[in-house]
Structure 1
Amino acid sequence: MQTVSTETVPGHETVEALGIARGNTVEARNVGRDITQSIRNITGGELKAYSELLSKARDEALSRMEADAEEMGADAVVNVRLETSKVTDGGSEVIAYGTAVRLR
């Protein structure tokens, strides 16, 4: 499955748009991480535990989007976008979406 942020896949012709493929996940913070990250927030520097959490969430959302596109019979997903939002005090959603297409 090819996924691109552009409107087309280089070297291929889009023959059919199948619809919007999407995948999401909601990840919650860990209380233990919050304590260590709060200290890091005071002293400065990257909040690595949160960076790793969001990276994992992005990968999961993209994987679910690709699975959704495969169920539609797509060869690729174009115009891929990622968004995040806070859904609770301790949790954030990451959603990946794009247009599922068939290629020639």
Structure 2
Amino acid sequence: MITSTLETVPGKAIREHLGIVQGSTVRAKHFGRDLMAGLKNIVGGELKGYTELLSEARDEAFERM
């Protein structure tokens, strides 16, 4: 199976379009990082620890597919 984000794949005939595929994983952060994220949430801004966690979870879900 070839997976692609393109409308067409050069040199290949598409027999079936399966639509969007997604995978999920659940992760937990360390208590200390949760506490710091909570404080950051009060003043606003990006929660970099959670951004990294989301990226790691997305990569793992993709690998599992």
- For the criterion TM > 0.5, the same-fold answer is yes
* Cα distance in 1 for residues equivalent to 2:37 and 2:4: 33
Match of 1:88 in 2: none
The structure where helix makes up a greater share of residues is 2
Return the TM-score normalized by structure 1. Answer: 0.46
Identity %: 48
Output the CA distance in 2 between the equivalents of 1:54 and 1:22.
Answer: 14
Q: Across the two proteins, how many residue pairs are aligned to each other?
A: 61
What is the distance in 1 between the residues matched to 2:22 and 2:42? 37
Q: Residue in 2 aligned with 1:35?
A: 35
1:10 and 2:9 correspond: yes
Normalising by structure 2, report the TM-score: 0.69
Gaps of 5+ in 1: 66-104
Say what the alpha-carbon RMSD is for the aligned residues: 2.6
Larger Rg: 2
Unaligned runs of 5+ in 2: none
